[in-house]
Structure 1
Amino acid sequence: MTTHGLQGIGMTSQRTRARMIERLREKGIRSAAVLQAMAAVPRHVFVEEALASRAYEDTALPLGMGQTISQPYIVARMIELLLNGRPGLGKTLEIGAGCGYQAAVLAQLSKDVYAVERIAPLLEKAKANMRVLQQFNVRLKHADGHFGLPEAGPFDSIIVAAAGSAIPPDLLRQLAPGGRMVLPVGGQEQYLCLVEHTPNGFTETRLDPVRFVPLLSGTQ
């Protein structure tokens, strides 16, 4: 590993990471558990070495293949919505694992994380990153996220890191009773949607405007 190890130095140091957490607080992230999970994961491990000095900026960064590592605030916001009053996330499904950063944060709060990625080279990168972190409660699978992971469901929490024009019906079917799903929905105009599986069915709450890469079909 060439990104100055897990602890980091200079612009990837623990102090720089602490500043990121302060910015998240200032932007409205209130959950101590979420802030602790974000602080526990060295984001510089997940970005290209040339971008390591920018790892703790509150911005999305390119991963190649048209994909990005999500902005820290968005990761924290979506996970806070999933957690909100629950002691943990339980069994979690992530759609769009990318380089594995968000899965590593989810793993701090989940019993098990199942993360799906459609682009094989990105999946390999995520697997390598999990080995570096020794994150053993994350299972990564090369698959089309529209269909979720029925063989591992149902899930207490589902998080989607790409925007579809509607909520994929297979994901609704895999959301356990009492479970929550957070995902971006829309095309040109996107918003975060919180779905809750209540005794009376599914409720949907429309939240913040966002900008995500599109949720594409198939694998590559």
Structure 2
Amino acid sequence: MIIDRAKKKETLYTAYGYIVEGIKAIYRWTYDGSGREEACLTSLYVTDADGKKVYTHHAFHNPIFMKHFDKNIDCFLWWVANDTPDIYNIEKTFHDVFIKNSCSFSYIINRRIQKEKQEKLERQRVAERRETENAIVSYCKENNLKLYKAFSKLYIMEFSDDKTEALFNNADARQLENYVNFIMENDTKEAKIIFSADTYNADIKAVYEAIKALKTEVIR
């Protein structure tokens, strides 16, 4: 039974554009003879950032225990924000999660949240990598460094022969790879590799810094 109840609601949680307020109370377990006391909520109010009501729950005789609230509220708000459920599903899910303390809901939502975070990090990583790759291209152009890309490999070349340079300029990735292999195997005078890096597993920012660290006499 409820033995102590606050008179005013207070803000309990904010996330994903929602504000959760509630009225706290103390619940004493009497049916099992233990008399133990547990923090709970007798009322809960969910509104959006504009103050529009999303869901209201009053449960004086069937309170929400704070341990269930703390464990599940973030997942519940994330679900509301991302799945935009109707009021029927909100009410049903709310009862299952906060009153019945269903374990499956938060487990599933947590997996979705983690997946979303991983996908966001991957998109950010790809965007940052693309930005650095573009910076490498711009830097080489500005400093007259002759940059070529064959699949995941980058090469900066020096040419003493215009015809050989033209071959590189008109080559596709496979042809570039063959030309580079030929140069490395035969130590030709017409072309020289002054920098190379395989960017497949490399830190692209470290590659960029290495290119910028090339001796100044290379840059003409």
Q: Compare CA radii of gyration and give the structure with the larger one.
A: 2
TM-score range, shorter chain: under 0.3
TM-score by length of 1: 0.27
Greater RCO (Cα-Cα under 8 Å, separation 6 or more):
1
